Amino acid sequence: MASKESQLSRLEKESEHPDFWNDSANAQRVMKNLAGLRDEIESWRTHQQHLHDLIELVRLDDRTLQDELEIEVTKLESDLQRRAFTAMLSGPYDHDDAILAIHAGAGGTDSQDWAEMLQRMYLRWAEDRGFTTEILDTTPGEEAGIKSVTIAVGGRHAFGYLRSEKGVHRLVRLSPFDSAHRRHTSFALIEVLPQVSMDEADIEINPGDLKIDVFRSSGAGGQNVQKNATAVRITHLPTGIVVTCQNERSQTQNREFAMKILRARLLELRQAEREEERAILRGEYTKAEWGSQIRSYVLHPYQLVKDHRTDYEVGNTQAVLDGDLDGFMEAYLKSAPSKV
């Protein structure tokens, strides 16, 4: 707590400097850190006061307060569990906002419907946690569901929580799109990237390496079709990475978000290359393939959601699909090292 308060004091002094806003990017990062630290410190102070009040109630030795004490102890234990969970978020970008991308895989219409089910699941999870979400880019399915979607998730430790979800997710169910109502297996790929500023990412992007196209956002027709070319597609020529942003906003805003996504993808690429080099040196490198799912959601012939990395499983599949993911995230964070 003392180190956090010392850090807060240092950042507050920095923000009061007359030249503070000369570097707007750095100023915004400092103000974001300030807000996060203030919230964290205030939260701990509230927790300490709650504990102090509870101790005072216990000292009264009043049997009529027993029911109230039990309720307060349960609240305190729940709060401590949540704080222990947050303490595991110690990776270099765990405090950042996140970019979540969902891509339908093998399985045709069923997989596109599965991708939309996952979109709903993560939107519900973010809403329950008080995070903000914004759909930056989406490609609808041909018959149902979506082929892909990119979502900006805003909130303290958003990336830290969501990095546990990166990988292939598998669904087994009776298909609503099969006239014979047979069991189908569908796949979707989840990508999770940190929203990092230019200086935090330490990624240099040469403007000459970019091909930038603007076009009209695709819509459902009628009033939803954009009359102006506001959507942006950026191609990074050296790597072939292509990012698009076609939210119904200005071209400038879409371009800024597309650049954020590009920086995040280049950061991920650099991290993957380093991990690959280290693994080869250790003699344990194996190429990651599409088919290696991290989690299975079985709706038929029985109900079960199981994470194959941790063996954590839940029988209440509907609760999971409604956004109850903290158990899976906590199990992963306990078992995996902090990394991008």
Pick from 75-89, 112-126, 256-270, 279-293: least confident: 279-293
Please report, for the domain that includes residue 252, its CATH number.
Answer: 3.30.160.20
Q: Contact, 112 vs 146, CB < 8 A? A: yes
Write out pLDDT tens, residues 125-182.
999 999 999 999 999 998 999 999 999 999 988 999 999 999 999 999 999 988 888 8
User: What average pLDDT does the chain have?
Assistant: 84
Give the model's confidence band at 288: pLDDT under 50 very low, under 70 low, under 90 confident, else very high: very low
- Euclidean distance between CA atoms 220 and 249, whole angstroms: 16
Whether residue 302 sits in one domain with residue 241: no
Whether residue 238 sits in one domain with residue 315: no
- pLDDT over 70 percentage in the chain: 88
Q: Contact, 148 vs 224, CB < 8 A? A: no
Q: Contact, 149 vs 101, CB < 8 A? A: yes
- Has residue 213 been placed in a domain? yes
Write out pLDDT tens, residues 197-230.
655 556 889 999 999 999 887 654 434 444 578 8
Contacts of 170 by beta carbon, 8 Å cutoff, 6+ apart = 185, 186, 187, 293, 295, 296, 297
3-class secondary-structure state, position 145? coil
Q: What is the pLDDT of residue 126?
A: 97
Question: 3-state SS string over 177-235?
Answer: CCCCCCEEEEEEEEEEEEECCHHHHCCCCCHHHEEEEEECCCCCCHHHCCCCCCEEEEE
- Has residue 92 been placed in a domain? no
Write out pLDDT tens, residues 328-339.
999 998 887 554
Please report, for the domain that includes residue 137, its CATH number.
Answer: 3.30.70.1660
Please report, for the domain that includes residue 43, its CATH number.
Answer: 1.20.58.410
Write out pLDDT tens, residues 243-255.
999 886 788 889 9
- Euclidean distance between CA atoms 167 and 293, whole angstroms: 7
Token pair, residue 288, equals 């990651």
